[in-house]
């Protein structure tokens, strides 16, 4: 694995014959995107899939869980089980878009369009998490991103490439940070049941390979999007509105004592929480506030649609319209840039804080991410 890692790092440096210097760039300055909110159609769930405890793909909802409302001040110890009942997903394995592509092949009838030049019938296919990063870019000062884009049969596929900075951070996480990453999943176990009428089993194993993912279709300005995102749980009431309106996002956060802490929560955390849930149309976020020992001391519900109101008390705070207009303009930039319809060609879009977005072009490189089994089926 160490050997592979070395190759990966080398792969990130474009070789001279692969590199086309960026003739076009894109600014991320907030004021350029502070205009009317763009059209964002209500996201429609067109399907879902599950990843089991071994990370195996299933074209069904077997991993969907049901929310069980906890007490206002529950006695949840998020540290419980970290040592002895935790199976952690191997995050050095890069799955790229593979699960979504598998879903598309298994559900061709749902995505097929009559347009023979664009059989998937959307402009973009990607993960919700990649779009979340785009939405928050105008406000991000710490972490840049690399997004690989290939065009196949008229559709643009966007797949993230881990930056050297993120790779180093992943390798150098402290033991404390490793444990705190577990706390979010432990909170999910305390608040979710496997069946609609069931009870949470806080004595079970937390396995972060397991996931339920929704697949939604929507439109941002003139861009038709198909993306997938992990969903933590749904309302246990089977009479609840249909997905994605019945979905609930679960979060943990440090408890808030001071005005400064509240302000930081509004400025940084709520931006990420809002972007993640707004994109797939998840209306509700349940937050467990915990102390430094991992004890949940308060549970609060946030309506995704009310977060923009909640933050208006902050001076010079983030604006949803800036996030959405930046994302829309970036997608336009990608469409203008990516001309070659060839799965072996990758346009690598790169952004670092305080800089412009740039791109390089790579043919038959280690960046290629559309697998042969998908290309073969889509070009049949």
Interface residues toward ligand A3P, by CB under 6 A: 181, 183-185, 187, 232, 251-252
Q: Which residues in 19-120 belong to E strands, given as ranges?
A: 44-51, 57-58, 66-67, 86-87
Which of Mg ion, ligand A3P, none is residue 181 near (CB under 5 to 8 Å by kind)? ligand A3P
Give whichever of 187 and 278 is closer to ligand A3P, judged by the CB atom.
187
Give whichever of 278 and 374 is closer to ligand A3P, judged by the CB atom.
278
Residues of this chain that interact with Mg ion (CB under 5 A) are 230, 232, 250
Give whichever of 182 and 359 is closer to ligand A3P, judged by the CB atom.
182
Q: In whole angstroms, what is the distance from residue 296 CA to residue 290 CA? A: 4
Q: In whole angstroms, what is the distance from residue 30 CA to residue 71 CA? A: 41
Give whichever of 123 and 232 is closer to ligand A3P, judged by the CB atom.
232
Q: In whole angstroms, what is the distance from residue 15 CA to residue 223 CA? A: 32
235: enclosing H helix or E strand: strand 233-235
Which of Mg ion, ligand A3P, none is residue 49 near (CB under 5 to 8 Å by kind)? none
Give whichever of 181 and 317 is closer to ligand A3P, judged by the CB atom.
181
Which of Mg ion, ligand A3P, none is residue 252 near (CB under 5 to 8 Å by kind)? ligand A3P
Closest CB to ligand A3P belongs to which residue? 184
Q: In whole angstroms, what is the distance from residue 216 CA to residue 47 CA? A: 7
Which of ligand A3P, Mg ion, none is residue 298 near (CB under 5 to 8 Å by kind)? none
Q: Residue 171 CB, nearest distance to ligand A3P (Å)?
A: 14
Which of ligand A3P, Mg ion, none is residue 290 near (CB under 5 to 8 Å by kind)? none
Q: Residue 250 CB, nearest distance to Mg ion (Å)?
A: 4
Q: In whole angstroms, what is the distance from residue 132 CA to residue 364 CA? A: 28
Which of Mg ion, ligand A3P, none is residue 217 near (CB under 5 to 8 Å by kind)? none
Give whichever of 12 and 272 is closer to ligand A3P, judged by the CB atom.
272
Q: Residue 79 CB, nearest distance to ligand A3P (Å)?
A: 13
Location of structure tokens 């009870």: 199
Give whichever of 178 and 340 is closer to ligand A3P, judged by the CB atom.
178
What is the chain's length?
A: 380
CA atoms 335, 337, 342, 347: torsion sign = negative
Q: Residue 255 CB, nearest distance to Mg ion (Å)?
A: 18
Q: What share of the chain is helix, strand, coil (3-state, %, to 5)?
A: 30, 25, 40
Cβ atoms of 282 and 273 within 8 Å: the answer is no
Q: Residue 375 CB, nearest distance to ligand A3P (Å)?
A: 30
Which of ligand A3P, Mg ion, none is residue 229 near (CB under 5 to 8 Å by kind)? none
Q: In whole angstroms, what is the distance from residue 304 CA to residue 287 CA? A: 12
DSSP, res 142: S
Q: What string of DSSP letters covers 153-170? A: TTEEEEEEE--HHHHHHH
């Amino acid at each position: 694995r160490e050997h592979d890692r070395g190759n990966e790092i080398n792969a990130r440096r474009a070789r001279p014959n692969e590199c086309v210097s960026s003739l076009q760039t894109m600014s991320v300055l907030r004021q350029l995107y502070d205009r009317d909110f763009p059209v964002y159609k209500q996201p429609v769930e067109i399907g879902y899939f599950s990843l089991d405890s071994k990370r195996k793909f299933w074209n069904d909802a077997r991993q969907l869980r049901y929310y069980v409302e906890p007490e206002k001040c529950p006695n949840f110890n998020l540290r419980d089980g970290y040592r002895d009942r935790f199976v952690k997903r191997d995050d050095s394995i890069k799955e790229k878009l593979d699960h979504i592509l598998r879903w598309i092949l298994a559900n061709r009838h749902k995505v097929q369009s009559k347009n023979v030049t664009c059989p998937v019938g959307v402009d973009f296919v990607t993960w919700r998490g990649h779009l979340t990063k785009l939405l928050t870019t105008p406000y991000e000062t710490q972490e840049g991103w690399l997004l690989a884009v290939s065009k196949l049969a008229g559709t643009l596929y966007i797949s993230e490439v881990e930056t050297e900075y993120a790779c180093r951070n992943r390798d150098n996480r402290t033991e404390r940070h490793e444990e705190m990453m577990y706390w979010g999943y432990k909170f999910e176990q305390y608040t979710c049941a496997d069946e609609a009428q069931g009870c949470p089993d806080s004595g079970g194993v937390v396995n972060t390979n397991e996931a339920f993912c929704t697949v939604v279709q929507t439109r941002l300005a003139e861009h038709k999007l198909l993306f997938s995102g992990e969903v933590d749980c749904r309302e246990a009431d089977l009479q609840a509105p249909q997905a994605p309106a019945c979905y609930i996002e679960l979060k943990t956060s440090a408890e808030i004592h001071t005005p400064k802490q509240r302000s930081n929560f509004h400025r940084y955390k709520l931006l990420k929480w809002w972007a993640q849930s707004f994109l797939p149309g998840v209306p509700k976020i349940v937050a467990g506030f915990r102390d430094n020992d991992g004890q949940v001391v308060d549970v609060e519900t946030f309506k995704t649609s009310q977060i923009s109101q909640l933050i208006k008390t902050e001076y010079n705070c983030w604006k949803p319209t800036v996030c959405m207009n930046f994302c829309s303009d970036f997608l336009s930039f990608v469409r203008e840039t990516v001309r070659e319809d060839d799965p072996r060609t990758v346009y690598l879009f790169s952004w670092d804080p305080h800089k412009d977005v740039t791109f390089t072009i790579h043919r038959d490189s280690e960046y290629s991410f559309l697998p042969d089994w998908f290309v073969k089926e889509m070009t049949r």
